[in-house]
Chain A
Amino acid sequence: MAHAHESNTKRIWIVFGILSVVTIVEVILGIIKPESLMASVLGMKILNWIFIILTIVKAYYIAWSFMHLEGERGSFKWSIVLPLLILIPYLAFILLVEGNYIYDVYSESFVSWDF
């Protein structure tokens, strides 16, 4: 890394703009809760899917631009991102399915949990 670093200030402010806009959109959607986004797709409301996708967009910009992953060598970049990309959705899938199953057991069994 001997080469001279030029200033990235402009890009930093652009990314800040993107992150701000995404956050504002999230907050507005969270307050209005449009009726059209309440339909369920793949077991979750469309609105919640939008929130999760926007969150991942924000995470991408923070990691790639602010944490400067885009400038790292490919092997380093992917040794950081891949474990997270594999393990977290895996854990989420297992535990959420399990949680849903326990909910079914609670609601369909003959025992009242609200006595």
Chain B
Amino acid sequence: MEATVNTQTEEENVWGGGNQPLGASYGKMMMWFFIVSDALTFSGFLVAYGFSRYKFIDSWPIADEVFTHFPFLHGVEAPMYYVALMTFILIFSSVTMVLAVDAGHQMKQKKVAWYMLFTIIGGLVFVGSQAWEWATFIRGDYGAVELRSGRILQFVDAQTGKRIALDEFAQPIEDERVVHLERNGVWYQSGEGLPSYTVNEIKAGFMANENVVGRAEKLNEDGEKIMLSREETAERLESAVHVVEGANLVRNEYGNRLFADFFFFITGFHGFHVFSGVVINVIIFFNVILGTYDRRKNYEMVEKVGLYWHFVDLVWVFVFTFFYLV
């Protein structure tokens, strides 16, 4: 019955405005089409990541070795647990959001406000977690050496195959470059940042410690990094040009340079979406408290920001899979 009535009104004033051929209001429809275009943007990024990864399929960093940290558990290898927790936080904030929309349909102002508040808190916790993840990624933990080819050489224990941090074997040499401090001159001087150790100190440490060998970027058939012999390592160390600690946009200790670039760009762009989602949620939250939608007699605005918020969750599901799992 309802459908027949609708068709009639549509036929009456097709060009007169006021009809909804797709059964959705203008605002909701535009939110959806924005989401479609944003989804294409994100898939562009993720596919570009896949492209670069296929290009260097036999030397790409292993995510399980990179993201091994969990807050307050220092030194414990906990791959994936932290991102899994972040995923849960975001999914749960999506649930409170959909509960807010549901309460809005029933015009329960108080309930909407509370659920919106929980959603905002969930979003803030997620952004905070991501900041922590970035900080850990940027700091790094073992350090590595970059060769003239731009490839990364990491160090492992020859017996156990466990990673060795630079400060466990490097031999400090006196009288090398020092950091320019402000008290030595107030004018600005630009120059390369100074890592904790120089290439020569690493080389000396390598010569002095028999059980240190290198590990190149290449993977074997089981997807593990190939360990080098003492001679091969010494040969590669000859062409070492940089000591790399942690990650920045130019080089990172984990391996291929593109890896950190994509990590910063994709998770950063997603984090920016979460942040803007929180801001929009806060605005709508205040409108709910002020009773704007109660007077308007519909809570469709909550539904629209809800769509955006779920989309952010949806994107994270894909980022989680392609960055951490696959």
Residues of chain A having any CB pair with chain B under 8 Å? 1, 5, 7-9, 12-13, 16, 19-20, 23-24, 26-27, 30-31, 48, 51-52, 54-55, 58-59, 62-63, 65-68, 72-73, 75-76, 79-80, 83-84, 87-88, 91-92, 95-96, 98-100, 102-103, 106-107, 113-115
**How many chain-B residues does the 8 Å CB contact rule pick out?**
62
B14 beta carbon closer than 8 Å to chain A: no
A26 touches B22 (CB 8 A): no
A72 touches B23 (CB 8 A): yes
Query: Which residues of chain B come closer than 8 Å to A83, judged between CB atoms?
Result: 36, 40
A98 touches B314 (CB 8 A): no
A62 touches B95 (CB 8 A): no
Interface residues of B in 1-58 (CB under 8 A from A): 21-24, 29, 32-33, 35-36, 39-40, 43-44, 47-48, 50-58
A96 touches B88 (CB 8 A): no
29 A/B residue pairs, CB under 8 Å, sorted by A: A5-B102, A13-B95, A27-B81, A30-B80, A30-B324, A51-B321, A51-B326, A52-B326, A54-B321, A59-B314, A59-B317, A62-B314, A66-B306, A67-B314, A72-B22, A75-B22, A76-B22, A76-B24, A80-B33, A84-B43, A87-B40, A88-B39, A95-B48, A96-B51, A99-B50, A102-B54, A103-B54, A106-B55, A114-B149
Instruction: Give how many A-B residue pairs fall within 8 Å (CB-CB).
Output: 147
Query: Which are the 10 A-B pairs with shortest beta-carbon distances?
Result: A99-B54, A5-B105, A73-B23, A76-B22, A99-B51, A95-B51, A55-B321, A27-B84, A88-B43, A99-B55
A25 to chain B, nearest CB (A): 11
Residues of chain B having any CB pair with chain A under 8 Å? 21-24, 29, 32-33, 35-36, 39-40, 43-44, 47-48, 50-58, 64, 79-81, 84, 87-88, 91-92, 94-95, 97-99, 101-102, 105-106, 148-149, 151, 216, 218, 239, 303, 306-307, 310-311, 313-314, 317-318, 320-321, 324-326
Query: Which residues of chain B come closer than 8 Å to A31, judged between CB atoms?
Result: 79-80
Known A-B contacts A63-B314, A67-B310; the reply to A80 vs B32 at CB < 8 A is yes
A102 to B56, CA, bound (A): 9
B306 to chain A, nearest CB (A): 8
A83 to chain B, nearest CB (A): 6
Secondary structure class of chain B's binding surface, majority of residues:
helix
Query: Which residues of chain A come closer than 8 Å to B320, judged between CB atoms?
Result: 55
> Which residue of chain A has the shortest Cβ distance to B313 in the bound complex?
A62
A19 touches B325 (CB 8 A): no
A109 to B54, CA, bound (A): 17
A55 touches B318 (CB 8 A): yes
B39 touches A84 (CB 8 A): yes
B98 touches A23 (CB 8 A): no
Known A-B contacts A19-B91, A52-B326, A75-B22; the reply to A103 vs B57 at CB < 8 A is yes
